[in-house]
Amino acid sequence: MNNLSFSFTSNDFLLMLQGAGITFFLTLVSGFAGSVLGFLVGWGRSLGVKWLYYPLGIYIEVIRSVPLIIQFVLFNSFLAIAGYPINPFVSGLITLSLYIAAYVAEVVMAGIHSVPPTMVRAARGLGLGYFQSFRYVVVPIGARTVLPSWTGLMLGLMKDTSLIAVLGASPPELLRASQIVITRIQEPLAILIGAGAFYFVMCHVITLAVQRYERSWTSKGKVEA
């Protein structure tokens, strides 16, 4: 431990802190983009139209079946072969978004199907059109159902960002930054414990934010009731 205190410098800490920031950035951006795309895909499948249901289903099955690390390599290589090479960091961000969208789509579809058909029919009977009943009835009720599952997906996504290192993306995310520090000071256990602490704090922040939003949502519903 004395060796660690001597070898571990403020620059090492700043590198890991920067890596944590990159990890958090990747999670937020790909999580948002993937959630929007996943919502559209899940909604499209819930319509039951064959020309939407089956192609979107193939997309979901392929994404969920192929390991993420292979998706990183294939997507980046495909762009290069096609003559459109892009920054590995951007390529990884797009891959993460497409990956998480497939899982969000299944959660969204389950949320839509969790809304009792009688409530939808009642809304339509009151004169609401399809889009109005979907917006004011299906989405609010379904969102409450899927929020815990969606939160779990986002926490898993944060840990999956470490795989972007296979592309050599720069600046490095948290795990890659930790590996750089480990290579220099040769204290893997202590550094990995520190990296785990960073992951815990970031996951805890997301969990608290979702819980706070859920409580405010519940309180708002009680007031309106």
pLDDT in tens, 119-136: 888 888 888 788 888 888
CATH for 82? 1.10.3720.10
Of residues 225, 217, 216, 49, the one with CA closest to residue 143? 217
- Domain assignment of residue 133, given as a range: 2-224
Radius of gyration of the chain (CA): 21
pLDDT of residue 158: 93
- pLDDT of 221 above 60: no
- pLDDT of 222 above 80: no
- pLDDT of 218 above 70: no
pLDDT of residue 203: 92
pLDDT tens track for 136-178:
888 888 888 888 899 999 999 998 998 888 787 778 888 888 8
| The two structure tokens encoding residue 108 | 């969204």
Count of structural domains within the chain? 1
> What CA–CA distance (Å, rounded) separates 121 from 35?
27
**Contact at 8 Å (CB) between 8 and 187?**
yes
pLDDT band at 225; cut points 50, 70, 90: very low
pLDDT of residue 41: 94
pLDDT of residue 219: 63
pLDDT tens track for 10-67:
888 898 899 999 999 999 999 999 999 999 999 999 888 888 889 999 999 999 999 9
Q: What is the mean pLDDT of the chain?
A: 86
37 class by beta-carbon count within 10 Å (0-12 exposed, 13-18 middle, 19+ buried)? middle
Summary count for the chain: helices (H), strands (E): 10, 0
pLDDT of residue 38: 95
CB atoms within 10 A of CB 82: 8
**DSSP single-letter state for residue 136:** I
pLDDT tens track for 89-123:
899 999 999 999 999 999 999 999 888 888 888 88
Whether the full predicted model's pTM is greater than 0.75, yes or no, is yes
**DSSP single-letter state for residue 115:** S
